[in-house]
Amino acid sequence: MLPEESDRTLNIEQTVSTAVASLALDSTFTFDELCQAMQNYRQRKLRVVELAELGDHDGICALWLIMDSEDLVLHAGSDSVLHRQQFVLHEFAHMLLGHGQGDECAVDDVLLPDIPAHTRGRLLRRQDPNSESEIAAESVADRLAAAIRASAFAESRYSEIFG
Ligand SMILES: [Zn+2]
């Protein structure tokens, strides 16, 4: 690894840890607890909605719409619950990393299926998947997924012993 590369990895690690810590959650949590913490963090309502056609359109897995009164995360359908969750967690990660500021474009500028034309809001501009912000977002999403998995595991152990 080149010295600049290890610097970059270190920076991303730091960024990721700070983002996850800003949720003020325990080391494990459920998806619902995470949604609640996201709303507290953003100080606004959050809605997660499946839009089945999304995946067919340009290979987009999920979108974060910054509406006047709420955050709206639209995600593609998938047979795998874990896949769907990862799409959503990736968008949560962008929120936690503060990628909503200055990176947006108007909803009207993008062709989206099934989104009413009058929808007012902004949309996180799509990034190059190899960019630092995408790598950081995927890394935050992985950490969140691990905490949710650990919580599900702890719960199933609990019911095994006490259920
Ligand atoms: Zn992204």
Q: How many domains does the chain have?
A: 1
Backbone angles phi, psi at 37, to 5 degrees: -65, -35
Average pLDDT of the segment spanning 131-149: 94
CA distances from 125 to 5, 30, 94, 99, 149 (A): 26, 29, 11, 9, 30
Q: pLDDT at position 110, please?
A: 58
pLDDT top residue among 33 and 8: 33
- Centroid of ligand 1 to alpha carbon of 148 (angstroms): 20
- Centroid of ligand 1 to alpha carbon of 74 (angstroms): 13
- Centroid of ligand 1 to alpha carbon of 1 (angstroms): 25
Q: Which H/E stretch holds residue 152? A: helix 132-162
Tokens of 132: 């630092």
- Centroid of ligand 1 to alpha carbon of 11 (angstroms): 18
CA–CA distance, 56 with 103 (Å, rounded to integer) = 24
Q: Check: CB of residue 72 under 8 Å from CB of residue 111.
A: no
- Centroid of ligand 1 to alpha carbon of 25 (angstroms): 23
Q: Is the pLDDT of residue 39 over 90?
A: yes
- Centroid of ligand 1 to alpha carbon of 48 (angstroms): 16
Q: pLDDT at position 122, please?
A: 76
- Centroid of ligand 1 to alpha carbon of 135 (angstroms): 8
Domain residues for the domain of 28 are 3-162
Q: pLDDT at position 41, please?
A: 96
- Centroid of ligand 1 to alpha carbon of 86 (angstroms): 11
Helix 132-162, helix 81-96: angle, nearest 10 = 130
Q: pLDDT at position 3, please?
A: 67
